[in-house]
Amino acid sequence: MRDPPDDLGPPGSQLPPPYTFARTPKPQRSRRPSGPYAGPVDEVSCTAAEAMLTNPVRHPLSVTVAEIRDFFRDHHVHAALIVSPAGYLEAVVERDDIAYCQALDTAAATLGRLAGRTVPAGASLAEVHHAMTATGRRRAAVTSADGRLLGLLCMKASQTGFCSEQDVRARALDNAHPAVLGSSGR
* Local confidence pLDDT in tens for the 186 residues of the chain: 554 433 433 334 444 444 433 333 334 443 333 344 444 544 456 999 999 999 999 999 999 999 999 999 988 899 999 999 999 999 999 999 999 999 999 999 999 999 999 999 999 999 999 999 999 999 999 999 999 999 999 999 898 889 888 887 787 777 664 544 444 444
Cβ(76)–Cβ(90) under 8 Å? no
The set of residues, in sequence order, having a beta carbon less than 8 Å from that of 46 and lying 6+ positions away, is: 37, 124, 125, 126
Proportion of the chain in helix, strand, coil states, percent, rounded to 5: 25, 20, 55
Phi, psi (degrees; rounded to nearest 5) at 91: -160, 150
**Considering the entire predicted model, what is its pTM?**
0.70
Q: How many CB atoms lie within 10 A of CB 71?
A: 16
Give the pLDDT confidence score for residue 90 in this predicted structure: 98
Say how far apart CA 80 and CA 119 lie, in whole Å: 15
**Contacts (Cβ under 8 Å, ≥6 apart) of 16:** 7, 8, 9, 114, 115, 116, 118, 119
Chosen CATH of 17-22+36-181 out of 3.40.50.970, 3.40.50.720, 3.10.580.10, 3.40.449.10: 3.10.580.10
33 CB neighbour count, 10 Å cutoff? 8
pLDDT at 176: 62
pLDDT score at 173: 76
pLDDT of residue 170: 80
Please give the pLDDT value at position 35.
42
Instruction: Note the pLDDT of residue 3.
Output: 47
Dihedral class, residue 78 (left if φ above 0, else alpha if ψ from -120 to 50, else beta): alpha
pLDDT of residue 15: 47
CA neighbours within 13 Å on the CB side: how many for 182?
A: 1
Distance CA 27, CA 102 (A): 45
* 78 burial level (CB within 10 Å; 0-12, 13-18, 19+): middle
Residue spans per domain, the chain: 17-22+36-181
